[in-house]
Amino acid sequence: MTMNSTGRPTAPTDIAAAAGAPETVSGSRGLLQHEPLIFETDRWGKTGVDLPAPRGREDRLGGLARKSAVDLPGLSEPQAVRHYVRLSQRNYAIDLGLFPLGSCTMKHNPRLNERMARLPGFADIHPMQPQSTVQGALGLIDELAGWLKTLTGMPAVAMSPKAGAHGELCGMLAIRKALEVRGELETRRRVLVPASAHGTNPATAIQCGFTVDEIGAGKDGLVDMEALRVKLEETDDIAGIMLTNPNTCGLFERDIREIADLIHEAGGYFYCDGANFNAIMGRVRPGDLGIDAMHINLHKTFSTPHGGGGPGSGPTVLSDALAAFAPVPFVSQEEDGGFMLVEEDRREAAHSFGRMVAFHGQMGMFVRALSYMLSHGADGLKQAGEDAVLNANYVQARLKEVMSPAFDGFCMHEALFSDDFLGDNGIETVDIAKGLLDEGYHPMTMYFPLVVHGAMLLEPTETESRAELDRFCDALADVARRAKAGDETLKGAPYLAPLRRLDETRAARKPVLKWSPPARESVAAE
């Protein structure tokens, strides 16, 4: 059996053999079909379509025509379709079951959204069409922007960022531009980032040319206010802070108003990572908290697909202090009621920090997000956020007898556990995650946030019914109980996944990033 470098089996599980089934010639086990890589099919030197050779065409390539084969497998349409469908059957998706990945907000993607996005007036337009022919689409962007501004209590929003981290970049570039206009870009170099932040936050700050200082978390999982005050007293070069609220411990930063005041008094700006906005949607307006910029993940909070099904979309709301620096283009409504895209050449964009994308953002996601908002209504969005928090607390309450909650009290949208309950019995967080695979669930986020030892972070979202939450909690509680009792079989999990424990260490230490052809001689001989 193939083992990984920690001595765990990596080979596919042969459940059928364990059940006494005979070996098969095909390598498939019943309807669990054996599927090689597309490059490892036997279609080398063949073509999947039979086209007549073109006649009477002049060669205009000037001797640059390819002489050798393109080295791609030649699959027919049914072969290509089957290959990808077989692979997709090994995938796990929100459409298959509960997806508790923390800080990812893996909520259901309503089919109504898909239907709206496929309306020809949205689906079949082109970014280079005359604006007069896409007034409905521009109007939709404007309406969505209006919802986002209302929900966040912020005066402006940049719609073009195409992901959460792209939105962070947008916010930080706006802050950078504001400092430049103030003539303080050279002297304000430091961005504060709490220890529980998403890894993209410090990366964004560095990308914008700032240096990053970490602010520790207190014992309660919140920003250590004393450490923040000391840092602000010791330094005079603060550009801003990047804070997530609720934070990645699943806790609301209750001192956020004071943090905003302190940062503003120090002359800096307040960037809020809006990844966890689902928890406070409809109840808290970031604009009321003193935030200057915040991205919103439409693919989390507003139900557009993600986790392989994207693309993402990260509109970024901006305060009065930053609104003038928003990127171009943006939609503006004219006096005659028509809509237009404001580009660099317009006076309104005189202070814009520039352009982030070629056109205006993820149109398909805008349609889906607005569809979600309109179908829920303002009261429905508020309830969605409340139900998400309720579900997370239900999970925390059901599991706290077996596992160790990282912090006391209620959580927000996600429940965080440490590995304290495992003691030193040799079973680790990763073993629990792998055990959960055998129970038929995607595992939780593990080893993040870093401020909690052996962290397990669970975000069920409002999508799940109580019955489904119970089934999930029964499964996880059982795995956790086995782990606590030192059940060594967990070290071998998963037993029932298409592949067992992959060699993550070797993959990271010696990554093979390029496919190499197997036994090319036999191909050449054909």
Partner 1 sequence: MAEDWTMHPRYYTREHEWVTVHGELATIGITKFAAEQLGDVVFVELPEKGKSFTRGDDMAVVESVKAASDVYAPVSGEVVDVNGELEGAPERVNEAPDADGWFCVLKIADADELKTLMDEEAYTKFCADEAS
Q: Does 6 bind partner 1 (CB under 8 A)?
A: yes
Which CB sits closer to partner 1, 6 or 187?
6
Give 278 or 429: the residue with its C-beta nearer to partner 1: 429
Nearest-approach distance from CB 455 to partner 1, in angstroms: 10
**Residue 394 interacts with partner 1 (CB under 8 A): yes or no:** no
Does 502 sit near partner 1 (CB under 8 A)? no
CA dihedral 14, 15, 17, 21 (to 10 degrees): -130
With tokens 């990366």, the residue in question is 203
Minimum distance from residue 37 beta carbon to partner 1 (Å): 24
| Strand 456-458 relative to strand 445-446, pairing | antiparallel
Considering the rule CB under 8 A, would residue 426 count as an interface residue with partner 1?
Answer: no
Q: Does 85 bind partner 1 (CB under 8 A)?
A: no
> Which residue number, 190 or 299, has a Cβ lying nearer to partner 1?
190
Amino acid at 244: T
Q: Does 5 bind partner 1 (CB under 8 A)?
A: yes
| Count of residues engaged in binding partner 1, rule: CB under 8 A | 9
Kindly state the tokens that stand for 272.
């809020």
Which part of the chain contacts partner 1 (CB under 8 A), choosing from 122-130, 246-254, 487-495, 503-511?
Answer: 503-511
Nearer to partner 1, 395 or 452 (CB): 452
- Should residue 465 be labelled a site residue for partner 1 when binding is judged by CB under 8 A? no
**HSE value, Cβ hemisphere, 13 Å, CA-based, for 327:** 26
Q: Toward partner 1, which CB reaches closer, 5 or 91?
A: 5
- If you write DSSP's letter for every residue of 406-467 in order, what string do you get? SSSS--SS-EEEESGGGTTSS--HHHHHHHHHHTT-PPPEES-STTSTT-EEE---TTS-HH
Residue type for 257, please?
A: R
Least Å distance, CB 508 to partner 1, is 4
- Identified binder of partner 1 from the candidate list 55, 60, 67, 509, rule CB under 8 A: 509
| Residue 60 in the binding site for partner 1 (CB under 8 A) | no
Name the minimum Å distance from CB 486 to partner 1.
Answer: 19
Q: Could you tell me the two tokens for 497?
A: 């996944």
- Residue 300 CB contacts under 8 Å (≥ 6 apart), including other chains: 104, 105, 107, 164, 275, 277, 278, 306
Longest pairwise C-alpha distance within the chain: 81
Contacts of 263 (CB under 8 A, 6+ apart): 192, 232, 238, 240, 241, 269, 270
Query: How many helices (H) and strands (E) in the chain?
Result: 15, 13
Query: Two tokens at 19?
Result: 């059940």
Query: Closest approach of Cβ 324 to partner 1, in Å?
Result: 34
Q: How far is the CB of 87 from partner 1 (least distance, A)?
A: 25
Report whether 226 contacts 247 (CB < 8 A): no
Using the rule CB under 8 A, is 524 a contact of partner 1? no
132 makes contact with partner 1 (CB under 8 A): no
Indicate which single residue of 24, 129, 150, 505 sits in contact with partner 1 (rule: CB under 8 A).
505
Task: Specify whether the CB–CB gap between 279 and 301 falls below 8 A.
Answer: no
SS (H, E, C) 461-510: CCCCCHHHHHHHHHHHHHHHHHHHCCCHHHHHCCCCCCCCCCCHHHHHHC
DSSP-derived secondary structure letter, 286: G
Closest to 119 in 3D by CA, of 136, 135, 131: 136
Give the contact letters, 235-274, x = binds to partner 1 (CB under 8 A), - = no: ----------------------------------------
Q: Decide if residue 150 touches partner 1 (CB under 8 A).
A: no
Minimum Å gap between C-beta 422 and partner 1 is 14
Q: State yes or no: residue 420 binds partner 1 (CB under 8 A).
A: no
Q: Does 219 bind partner 1 (CB under 8 A)?
A: no
> Nearest distance from residue 509's CB to partner 1, in Å?
5
CB count in 10 Å sphere of residue 495: 15
6 versus 131: smaller Cβ distance to partner 1? 6
- Which lies closer to partner 1 via its Cβ, residue 347 or residue 509? 509
Least CB distance to partner 1 at residue 287 (A): 34
Stretch that binds partner 1, among 25-33, 102-110, 301-309, 504-512 (CB under 8 A): 504-512
Measured between alpha carbons, how far is 515 from 76 in angstroms, rounded to an integer?
Answer: 22
| Calpha distance 105→306 (Å, rounded) | 10
Task: For the CB of residue 483, give the shortest distance to partner 1 in the complex, in Å.
Answer: 17
Q: Candidates 199, 354, 377, 498: give the one binding partner 1 (CB under 8 A).
A: 199
Of the candidate residues 504, 515, 517, 522, the single one contacting partner 1 (CB under 8 A): 504
Binding mask 435-454 for partner 1 (x = CB under 8 A): ------------x--x----
| Whether the Cβ atoms of residue 353 and residue 327 lie closer than 8 Å to each other | yes
Half-sphere exposure of 135 (CA within 13 A, CB side): 8
Which one, 4 or 135, has the nearer CB to partner 1? Answer: 4
- DSSP letter (8 states) at residue 349: G
Q: Is 47 in the site for partner 1 (CB under 8 A)?
A: no
Is residue 514 within the footprint of partner 1 (CB under 8 A)? no
Is residue 21 within the footprint of partner 1 (CB under 8 A)? no
Q: Tell me the pairing of strands 211-215 and 190-194.
A: parallel
Residues in touch with partner 1 (CB under 8 A): 5-6, 199, 447, 450, 504-505, 508-509
